[in-house]
Amino acid sequence: MAAKTLGLDLNSKRQRKLSDYPYKEDYRARWNDNDMYHHVNNPVYGVLIDSVINSYLISKCGYSTSEATQIGLVGNSYCDFFGSAQYPGMLYIGLRVVKMGKSSLTYECGIFQEGSESVKAVGGFTQIWRERKDYKPTAEGIPANIRQGLQPLLKGSEQGPSDQAKL
């Protein structure tokens, strides 16, 4: 039986469940995360997305910002909002890889609030791997340790393990 592919249209994103994401982190909302309307301010979602992606790269892929000769630069980012998260409360951020090419990859995060099954936001970014010293493309593309560490996050992507072997 083929794995379920998660659509990238707005209606599909609106249907996301926390179980669609192979990696998850918790975040306790803070008072200063709220805006004047008493919900998490939009820029906070971007910080959460960036934080969970970098946390994964550091803890699961062995990425070291101080030792890296290659870096992942953000080529674009997005966030689609479907509901309001708010303080006080626990937020759950799920992470998956949508697509992985030779030198770029696209991440997706779903943000959920404790006590609600509905996704509050789906966002992510495309990361392009470059040489740290001059930002030129790398011969290797995505470093092998990063590529290997991200394999478990391809759940629900259009790529499977056999597609990765061709890259």
Please name every residue paired with 86 in a beta bridge, in sequence order, or none if there are none: none
pLDDT, position 64: 86
Place of tokens 């309001």: 84
Distance CA 87, CA 151 (A): 34
What pLDDT was estimated at residue 65? 79
- Other Cβ atoms within 10 Å of 78 Cβ, number: 13
- Give me the long-range contacts of 11-16 (CB less than 8 A, separation at least 24): 13/80, 13/82, 13/119, 13/122, 14/82, 14/119, 14/122, 15/119, 16/94, 16/110, 16/119, 16/122
Among residues 35, 7, 14, the alpha carbon closest in space to that of 82 is found at: 14
pLDDT tens-digit profile of 95-130?
Answer: 999 999 999 999 999 999 999 989 999 999 999 999
Contact 163, 110 (CB under 8 A): no
Domains, the chain, in order of start with CATH, read 10-153 (3.10.129.10)
pLDDT value at residue 5: 79
Which amino acid is residue 165, in one-letter code? A
pLDDT at 164 (0 to 100):
46
Query: Can you give the pLDDT at residue 4?
Result: 72
The pLDDT of residue 67 is 83
CA distance 52 to 114: 17
Q: Which residue positions in the chain have pLDDT lower than 50?
A: 1, 161-167
Whether the model pTM is above 0.75 = yes
